[in-house]
């Protein structure tokens, strides 16, 4: 997450994430599911500009994406309000959000925007919050928010808010395919069958730390992929297309609908993208991004 301060305002880049491993352990009494997941931040960014103002005491959000709520239910507004209430901030805020991360795509666009807002207000108001305090605040907002204070990679447990940084042995090159339809996380979890014997992710963590991308590709796993494919056949179709292009591995990220291919290197990522373009049907509305793990 990049931060730049200038004349009473802060500018931020908020990265997307992919899940290299996601297992569901059990359903909790609070209605959430206990997870283990390995997440990596990638170079697909939303941008935020946050300005403190004296003219009013409200949180005002504007966004370039029509149809996205800019009201108090937006995670950016919720993050800003949490900081204002917790630390007694009285100044008004004007926030401009430019979206590039697709919505409802399993890339945590809303969560990363919320994390950027927390980090931006920490810098803008000189609150002096350290990484652990920001992680705790993020956990109050949503399951994926805390991860963005521990990039580039982390092993996340609980409902996703307990974060343990993981070494990244070498950069990862990936190709994301985002179908034009999003998926509801609640609906995907509603179709999930919790496994009797959940998989452990020690192998993929070790491979990531060692920089063994071929082994990472062999160990990709997402328990949510099967129910997501039932709800959205396009996820299965793109996964099958990616399989035919022969990357190191392919997987859906989060609760979908984005699928990604793990490439051998930047040149291989370009090859995969060229072959994908030949497979895309004209007007299908899907979006393809070449990304790399963040520094």
Nearest to 148 by CA among 199, 79, 229, 217: 79
Cα dihedral: 108, 258, 22, 159 (round 10): 30
Residue 148, Cβ neighbours under 10 Å: how many?
Answer: 29
Catalytic one of 17, 46, 173, 268: 17
Instruction: Give catalytic status of residue 27 as yes or no.
Output: no
The string of DSSP codes covering 175-234 is EEEE-SS---HHHHHHT----SSPPP-HHHHHHHHHT-HHHHHHT-EETTHHHHHHH-HH
Catalytic one of 113, 144, 173, 268: 144
Apex CA 179: angle with CA 174 and CA 185, to 5°? 95
Instruction: Give catalytic status of residue 17 as yes or no.
Output: yes
Q: Residue 55: is it exposed, middle or buried by C-beta count within 10 angstroms (0-12/13-18/19+)?
A: exposed
The SS3 assignment for 169 reads coil
Nearest to 92 by CA among 8, 5, 3, 2: 8
Catalytic residues: 17, 144
């Amino acid at each position: 997450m990049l931060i730049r301060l200038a004349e009473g305002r802060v500018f931020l880049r908020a990265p997307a994430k992919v899940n290299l491993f996601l297992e569901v352990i059990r359903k909790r009494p609070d209605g959430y599911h206990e997870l283990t997941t390995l997440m990596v931040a990638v170079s697909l960014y939303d941008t935020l500009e946050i300005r403190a103002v004296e003219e009013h005491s409200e949180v005002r959000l504007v966004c370039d994406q029509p149809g996205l709520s800019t009201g108090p239910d937006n995670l950016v507004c919720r993050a800003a309000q949490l900081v204002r209430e917790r630390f007694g901030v009285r100044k008004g805020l004007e926030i401009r959000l430019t979206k590039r991360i697709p919505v409802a795509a399993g890339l945590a666009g809303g969560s990363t925007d919320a994390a950027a807002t927390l980090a931006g207000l920490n810098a803008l108001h000189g609150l002096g919050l350290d990484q652990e305090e920001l992680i705790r605040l993020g956990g109050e907002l949503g399951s994926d928010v805390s991860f963005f204070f521990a990039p580039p990679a982390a092993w996340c447990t609980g409902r996703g808010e307990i974060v343990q940084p993981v070494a990244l042995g070498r950069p990862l090159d990936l190709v994301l395919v985002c179908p034009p339809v999003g998926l509801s996380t609640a609906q995907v979890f509603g179709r999930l069958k919790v496994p009797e014997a959940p998989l452990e992710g020690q192998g993929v963590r070790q491979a990531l730390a060692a920089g063994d991308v071929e082994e990472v590709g062999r160990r990709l796993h997402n328990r949510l992929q099967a129910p997501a494919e039932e709800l959205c056949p396009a996820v299965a179709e793109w996964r099958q297309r990616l399989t035919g292009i022969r990357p190191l591995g392919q997987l859906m990220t989060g609760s979908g609908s984005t699928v990604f291919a793990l490439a051998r290197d930047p040149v291989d990522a370009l090859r995969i993208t060229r072959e994908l373009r030949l497979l895309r049907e004209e007007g299908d509305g899907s979006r393809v991004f070449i990304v790399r793990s963040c520094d």
